[in-house]
């Protein structure tokens, strides 16, 4: 009996040891898991910090590109923009011949061209802190605390394309989007324009209006609440082309060089329009030819099978054939019912044209340790008054041979003219 009791007591001790061992293993797993999670969280935080600082470094490159453009256009004296002799000084020419007059796709224009030229001619360049890193060049933009130490940020591979193959922007409802038609070939030589293609209503949800829907073959312009009810119809687009003669001009001449067309999205319309048929007479009132009304249906697609829902080509060859290449041309876009993302391209016959200095493209890569961030940004001129692109061009204007008086009091049922004529 005594032996049996002693045996059972030893058995209970072994069970306790096994239980303790299992708990120790469990706690070890928990500790290791928490340690791994903490290390992983620290790693994620560090990666996020590096990625954020790399993006900030790339944004610094975009800001420096603006400074370079201002500097180079200020020193441009005329002629071939890719030549040293076209700038105020040889040192400015060595830098600026790499900055303006190129596309970002230019095969002779590598990542180091701008920074190397600025580094080698540092006394003239508006940029600083440019370092040579082996065969590459980079610009230091600061330091950021990362973990237990600090990390330096740079931007590199800076490319500026003042020649852009298209114009991309947003036509806000009620505001004019005016695009200068200063167009060249890929080498930067002025060329006449024969056709302008306007696309609008970007079908992307993240970057545009979303897939178009509700497009019908109906005519006319309904109320705004009807147009947008239970659908995502593209905006109605008014496209106006104006060619300004080089030299002195007047309102009558401008009106005779103005062509405008309003396009309603439809499932059964057109996509090519001869703008010579939609001219304005003296005084600015649209008085089209007898057979043409300045209002047409343009074929647009429901769904998201294409990048943009609507595409219209404005043929202006008959207009520009009698005009000098040096004439200034403008495209004015005005949307009705809603705003729209737009893309504009131009051609001379079958050849693509480039917008020169209208919307420069900046391509730059930021670096922080082993994290990289690449940014492609499009720049546009802004008014120094309020930063609105539309403020460069007035929506309305008044011309008179006498005086203009605006001292009017208007009541709900009456009015007073307080002007002294």
pLDDT at residue 106, rounded to an integer: 84
As a whole number of angstroms, the distance between CA 140 and CA 146 comes to 17
DSSP letters spanning 366-413: EEETTEEEEEEEE-----TTT--GGGGS-S-----SS-----EEE-SS
pLDDT tens per residue across span 246-285: 777 777 777 778 899 999 999 999 999 999 888 865 334 4
Highest-confidence segment of 237-241, 322-326, 415-419? 237-241
Q: pTM here?
A: 0.78
The phi, psi pair for 116, rounded to 5°, reads -65, -45
Structure confidence at residue 252 (pLDDT): 75
Q: What are the b/e assignments for 347-362, b being 16+ CB within 10 Å?
A: bbeeeebbbbbbbbbb
The yes-or-no verdict on residue 103 having pLDDT over 50 is yes
Q: What percent of the chain has pLDDT over 90?
A: 49
Check whether 232 has a pLDDT greater than 90.
yes
Are the beta carbons of 146 and 159 closer than 8 angstroms?
no
CB of 87 within 8 A of CB of 96?
yes
Query: Within 10 A of 398 (CB to CB), how many other CB atoms are there?
Result: 7
Confidence of residue 198 (pLDDT cuts 50, 70, 90): very high
Residue 291 confidence class, pLDDT cut points 50, 70, 90:
very low
Q: How far apart are the first and last CA of the chain?
A: 134
Averaged confidence pLDDT in the chain: 83
CA dist 190 → 20, 125, 242, 321, 385 (Å): 86, 28, 18, 14, 31
Nearest C-alpha neighbor of 319 from the set 240, 395, 262: 240
What are the pLDDT digits (tens) for 61-76? 999 999 999 999 999 9
Encoding tokens for residue 31? Answer: 């500790």
Predicted confidence at residue 105, as pLDDT, reads 86
Q: What is the pLDDT of residue 10?
A: 54
Please, which residues bridge with residue 280 across strands? 286
Alpha carbon 246 to chain centroid distance?
29
Taking alpha carbons only, the member of 59, 70, 71, 84 closest to residue 139 is 59
Q: Is the pLDDT of residue 312 over 60?
A: yes
């Amino acid at each position: 009996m005594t032996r049996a009791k002693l045996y059972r007591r030893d058995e209970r001790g072994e069970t306790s040891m096994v239980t303790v061992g299992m708990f120790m293993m469990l706690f070890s797993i928990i500790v290791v898991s928490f340690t791994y999670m903490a290390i992983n969280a620290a790693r994620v935080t560090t990666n996020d910090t590096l990625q954020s600082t790399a993006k900030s470094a790339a944004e610094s490159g975009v800001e420096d590109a603006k400074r370079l453009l201002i500097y180079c256009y200020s020193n441009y004296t005329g002629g071939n923009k890719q030549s040293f002799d076209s700038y105020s000084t040889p040192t400015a020419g060595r830098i600026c011949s790499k900055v303006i007059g190129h596309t970002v796709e230019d095969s002779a224009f590598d990542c180091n061209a701008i920074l190397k030229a600025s580094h080698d001619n540092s006394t003239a360049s508006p940029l600083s802190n440019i370092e040579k890193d082996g065969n590459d060049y980079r610009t230091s933009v600061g330091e950021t605390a990362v973990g237990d130490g600090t990390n330096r940020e740079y931007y590199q591979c800076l490319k500026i394309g003042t020649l852009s193959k298209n114009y991309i922007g947003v036509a806000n409802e009620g505001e004019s989007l005016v695009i200068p038609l200063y167009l060249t070939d890929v080498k930067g030589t002025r060329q006449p324009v024969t056709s302008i293609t306007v696309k609008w209503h970007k079908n992307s949800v993240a970057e545009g209006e979303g897939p178009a829907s509700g497009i019908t073959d109906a005519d006319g312009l309904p109320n705004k609440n009807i147009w947008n009810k239970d659908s995502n119809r593209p905006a109605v687009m008014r496209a106006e082309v104006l060619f300004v003669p080089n030299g002195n001009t007047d309102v009558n001449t401008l009106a005779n060089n103005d062509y405008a067309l309003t396009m309603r999205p439809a499932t059964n319309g057109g996509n090519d329009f001869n703008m010579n048929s939609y001219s304005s007479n003296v005084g600015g009132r649209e008085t089209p030819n007898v057979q043409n009304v300045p209002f047409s249906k343009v074929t647009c697609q429901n769904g998201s099978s294409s990048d943009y829902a609507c595409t219209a080509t404005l043929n202006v060859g008959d207009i520009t054939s009698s005009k000098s290449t040096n004439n200034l041309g403008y495209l004015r876009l005005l949307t009705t019912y809603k705003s729209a993302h737009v893309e504009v391209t131009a051609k001379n016959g079958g050849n693509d044209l480039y917008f020169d200095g209208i919307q420069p493209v900046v391509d730059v890569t930021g670096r922080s340790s082993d994290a990289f961030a690449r940014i492609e940004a499009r720049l546009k001129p802004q008014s120094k008054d309020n930063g609105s692109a539309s403020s460069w061009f007035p929506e309305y204007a008044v011309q008179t041979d006498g005086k203009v008086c605006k001292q009017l009091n208007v009541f709900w049922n009456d009015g007073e003219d307080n002007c002294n004529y």
